[in-house]
Amino acid sequence: DVKVTQSSRYLVKRTGEKVFLECVQDMDHENMFWYRQDPGLGLRLIYFSYDVKMKEKGDIPEGYSVSREKKERFSLILESASTNQTSMYLCASSLGQGAQYSNQPQHFGDGTRLSIL
Amino acid sequence: ILNVEQSPQSLHVQEGDSTNFTCSFPSSNFYALHWYRWETAKSPEALFVMTLNGDEKKKGRISATLNTKEGYSYLYIKGSQPEDSATYLCAFNNQGGKLIFGQGTELSVKP
């Protein structure tokens, strides 16, 4: 079974702090994703990566950056945390991109509930 | 902007009731339609990935259908049980990797 592990289930930080959320997957997946989930809005894509050292902006990248130095690890960085970044953050991975992988699901971590005070 | 719409937003049913929800998505450039179940305090779990028009998939009491020409998918739960209580997410794949999620249908099944 694919295992996607997020470093923290709950995190409390202060406004202005630099925050790191870590995600590791153990199945050699090419693709990794960071989402946030807010009530009534569903999952919104922040950033994603199709390969090591490669990143692409999702729908809501403002205020975030990412790092993928190794294939198995994808980090989300809040450069200067703000209260509107209080949310549930989900990491996911999938096998690869392209039509040949379109029948492959994404595998999710348990989520990090981040509160910015 | 591509929109994926789910209805209803929430649903409350009694144990034993059968229920269904709808996912609407753009009908152009279709690659796949995903359904996930997200239980409280757990990670979202893939239920189905459907790629062909007319696809029907089944997993126990849960089944799904797909119409890519008109851009909708139905998820059915037969004889709902309290353990079916969860948020059900659908997601549209039009680029082979990135998913666009609907806002989810929150199902509550009362014993």
Q: Which residues of A touch B33 (CB under 8 A)?
A: none
What are B65's strand-pairing partners?
B56, B74
pLDDT tens by residue, A8-57: 999 999 999 999 999 999 999 999 999 999 988 889 999 999 999 899 99
DSSP string, A15-54: TT--EEE-EEESS--SEEEEEEEETTTEEEEEEEESSTT-
Q: How far is A96 from chain B (nearest CA, A)?
A: 7
pLDDT tens by residue, B63-85: 999 999 999 999 999 999 999 99
Is A10 in CB contact (< 8 Å) with chain B?
A: no
User: Mean of the pLDDT values across residues B35-62?
Assistant: 94
Closest CB from A43, A98, A110 relative to B101: A43
Confidence band (pLDDT; 50, 70, 90) for A96?
A: confident
